[in-house]
């Protein structure tokens, strides 16, 4: 049976790279089929992960959500793949699209999208956005088998959850908290943030190699950073 994993958290907590590297690790370690979906319309994922691809080689999940009824074939038509990873697919919005490009999807449509993705792949990893008014992200947290809450060791993250923590109360019993080190700073308040959230299960180290992937547009490739991959591998095993 397919497993749905939602990755959410505070702004600039590295949710997208965390969700993507988790999805890739599930694919490589579990030798199984995986779909990665980003619902971000502020920074559409296709332009972020595939900046060097032709426009004609990229697709948009918005086309699927815009249909009256959603079927498995509608989802499969919008999957972007890479030659080196069989049975791994990317779904998201294209560069140039924004929240005004498509009508707001209904709950029925979003649930149909989740159902179709679950029929296609053994693991579905959804990269949610921080805006609690985003309908797809809200339903992803509700429907997910596992919710990964990304935090960062800074006051901005703590302030965000002080104001928005109620949105995560309904999924607390299925949540794994991951501290994502997105900056290289020796004086980040790791212990203070850990004590504040109390149940931090994983701490992802800062990765220069990951930073380079974001700069060069090569996030679709497997990360070579051994220390980072050791932690993401443990996280993959915990949620699989």
Give the number of C-alpha atoms closer than 13 A to the C-alpha of residue 142, restricted to the C-beta side: 12
Cα(141)–Cα(152) distance, integer angstroms: 19
**Cα–Cα dist 125/26, whole Å:** 10
Phi-psi region of 59 (alpha: psi -120 to 50; beta: other; left: phi over 0): beta
pLDDT in tens, 39-98: 999 999 999 999 999 888 999 999 999 999 999 999 999 999 999 999 999 999 999 999
* Domains observed in the chain: 3-239 (3.40.50.300)
Q: Give the gyration radius of the chain's Cα atoms.
A: 17
Residues shown for the chain: 240
What is the Cα–Cα distance from 37 to 193, expressed in whole angstroms? 29
pLDDT tens sequence across 86-108: 999 999 999 999 999 999 999 99
| pLDDT in the model for residue 55 | 87
Give this prediction's pTM: 0.95
Q: Is the pLDDT of residue 154 over 80?
A: yes
pLDDT class of 209 with cuts at 50, 70, 90: very high
Give the pLDDT confidence of 223-233 residue by residue, as tens digits: 999 999 999 99
- Sequence-ordered list of residues with C-beta below 8 angstroms from that of 167, at least 6 positions apart, any chain: 132, 138, 141
How far is the C-alpha of 200 from the C-alpha of 156, rounded, in Å?
Answer: 17
């Amino acid at each position: 049976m397919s497993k749905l994993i939602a990755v959410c958290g505070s702004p600039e907590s590295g949710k997208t790279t965390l969700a993507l590297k988790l999805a890739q690790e599930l694919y490589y370690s579990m030798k199984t089929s995986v779909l990665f979906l980003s619902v971000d319309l502020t920074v559409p994922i296709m332009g972020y992960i595939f900046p060097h691809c032709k426009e004609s080689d990229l697709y948009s999940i918005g086309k699927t959500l815009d249909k009256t009824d959603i079927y498995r074939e509608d989802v499969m038509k919008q999957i972007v793949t890479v030659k080196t990873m069989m049975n791994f697919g990317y779904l998201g919005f294209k560069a140039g699209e924004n929240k005004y490009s498509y009508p707001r999807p209904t709950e029925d449509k979003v649930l149909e999208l989740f159902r179709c993705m679950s029929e296609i792949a053994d693991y579905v990893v959804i990269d949610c956005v921080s805006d609690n008014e985003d309908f797809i992200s809200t339903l992803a947290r509700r429907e997910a088998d596992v919710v990964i809450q990304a935090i960062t060791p800074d006051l901005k993250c703590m302030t965000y959850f002080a104001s928005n923590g109620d949105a995560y109360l309904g999924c607390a019993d299925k949540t794994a908290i991951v501290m994502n080190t997105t900056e290289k700073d020796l004086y980040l308040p790791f212990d203070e943030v850990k004590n504040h959230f109390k149940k931090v299960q994983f701490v992802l180290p800062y990765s220069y190699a990951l930073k380079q992937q974001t700069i060069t547009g090569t996030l679709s490739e497997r990360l070579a950073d051994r220390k980072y991959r050791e932690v993401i591998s443990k996280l993959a095993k915990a949620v699989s």
